Amino acid sequence: MNIQMVDLKGQYHAIKSEIDTAINDVIESSAFINGPAVSQFAKELAAYNKVAYVVPCANGTDALQLAMMALDLVPGDEVIVPSFTYVATAEVIALLGLTPVFVDVNPSDFLVSPTKIKESITPKTKAIVPVHLFGQCADMESIMAIAREHGLYVIEDTAQAIGAVYTFKDGTTKKAGTMGDIGTTSFFPSKNLGCYGDGGAMFTNDEQLATRLKMIANHGQRVKYYHDIIGVNSRLDTVQAAILRVKLPHLDQYSANRNRSAEYYDKALGHYKSIVTPVRVESSTHVFHQYTLKCIGFDREELKAFLQQKSIPSMVYYPVPLHLQKGYAQYGFATGSFPVSEQLADQVLSLPIHTEQTEEELSYIVENVKDFLHTKGLN
Ligand SMILES: *Cc1c(COP(=O)(O)O)cnc(C)c1O
């Protein structure tokens, strides 16, 4: 059996003729840069997300950078980010001369803790970047309330949770990335809505912000060769947009497939005390970008090696929390600063989850995880 963390080839083969036609059409038209598929995809994604504006860009890291630039943050401003996330979230903050202020996450659901956000606010705080980690939304009800109270911007990093739905206490629902001032996402191939290279986008309901984001992504110009502000070059390829147009109508089915795999794992592994299966939060649906276990009372590297011997890949997202990364030592956080993130970095292990998983594959993975636990006398 050929078990993979993600099966991009299998997913492609299921929609091959549509994809091939879409790619060929772009090549035939030769509209490689800003061809019609780019704005068509932006409109379709805006409709899907029920958001006023989608501004495409080159990747999810750029999307975060452009968002910070559009909000006029200046060096010295503090931006609050979880310490347990992918580095891109903090990287752009540092690159722009802003100060990343790390905060801890919840031990149960890995999501940024609103209490810790509140405790970290200073007069210099300008923005909060919640990350909808592994596929479900952070506690946006509380985060938006904190942001309103303190006059802070909210940039949602939605790279892992496109399509997740958040329900507020009053019953209104919103898609991940459409609750704050700007939402950012990535179309990296292995993301839930992935293209065949790099891609990204920003979401906003604010017309002025949308205009600024578009200008910044396009060398700071609205009219060609008139550069009103300093921008960058960050575009979504037409070929990638054409691929994404084919894939977007499948996104909800992809999320359903991921949920089906997650439920299989939950059912088979949920009763063990030594491996904690993912906790679902009440206010958000889960699109299972990752299915992440917590390994309790044993070395997860042993489980990883055991599975590898059976040709089952597994991954550690993420082995080092951001505040302990060498590149971020200048911000002065020592070991012990964020105990939950530090413990999670030692305990987490993600099992393969993707849109094409068969019951046979899931069963093989589960039986081997159980085998490991039984061999070790764990329950
Ligand atoms: C993937 C990812 C990004 C960056 O996206 P790229 O397209 O690879 O630049 C940012 N934040 C999170 C949480 C991610 O998972």
Closest ligand 1 atom to residue 198 Cα is 7
Return the best residue to mutate from 83, 162, 188 for the ligand 1 pocket (most ligand atoms within 8 A of CB): 188
Distance set, CA 351 to CA 137, 253, 290, 313, 321 (Å):
20, 20, 8, 7, 20
In the chain, CATH 3.90.1150.10 sits at: 251-375
Write down how long the chain is. Answer: 379
Closest ligand 1 atom to residue 64 Cα is 10
Q: Which of these, 314, 301, 308, 307, lies nearest to 370 by C-alpha position? A: 307
Q: Whose CA is nearest to atom 14 of ligand 1?
A: 159
Q: Is the CB of 91 under 6 A from ligand 1?
A: no
pTM of this structure: 0.97
Distance from the alpha carbon of residue 83 to the mean position of ligand 1, in angstroms: 15
Answer for the pair 183, 155: CB distance below 8 angstroms, yes or no. yes
In the chain, CATH 3.40.640.10 sits at: 8-103+111-249
Q: What is the pLDDT of residue 161?
A: 98
Q: Has domain 251-375 been given CATH number 3.40.50.300?
A: no
Q: Which of these, 379, 360, 374, 369, lies nearest to 305 by C-alpha position? A: 369
Q: Is the CB of 88 under 6 A from ligand 1?
A: yes
- Residue 196 CA to residue 159 CA, distance in Å, equals 16
Q: What is the pLDDT of residue 366?
A: 98
Q: Is the CB of 106 under 6 A from ligand 1?
A: no
Q: Is the CB of 185 under 6 A from ligand 1?
A: no
Distance from the alpha carbon of residue 370 to the mean position of ligand 1, in angstroms: 32
Distance from the alpha carbon of residue 88 to the mean position of ligand 1, in angstroms: 6
Q: What is the pLDDT of residue 72?
A: 85
Answer for the pair 365, 351: CB distance below 8 angstroms, yes or no. yes
CATH code for 8-103+111-249? 3.40.640.10
Closest ligand 1 atom to residue 133 Cα is 13
Closest ligand 1 atom to residue 200 Cα is 7
Residue 78 in tokens: 């503090």
Q: Is the CB of 317 under 6 A from ligand 1?
A: no
Residues of the chain with pLDDT under 70: none
Q: Is the CB of 131 under 6 A from ligand 1?
A: yes
Q: What is the pLDDT of residue 337?
A: 96
Distance from the alpha carbon of residue 180 to the mean position of ligand 1, in angstroms: 18
**Gyration radius (Cα) of the chain, Å:** 21
Please indicate whether residue 116 is annotated as part of the active site: no
Q: Is the CB of 204 under 6 A from ligand 1?
A: no
Q: Which of these, 331, 303, 301, lies nearest to 319 by C-alpha position? A: 301
Quickly list DSSP for 260-313. HHHHHHHHHHTT-SSEEPPPPPTTB-B--S-EEEEE-SS-HHHHHHHHHHTT--
Q: What is the pLDDT of residue 347?
A: 98
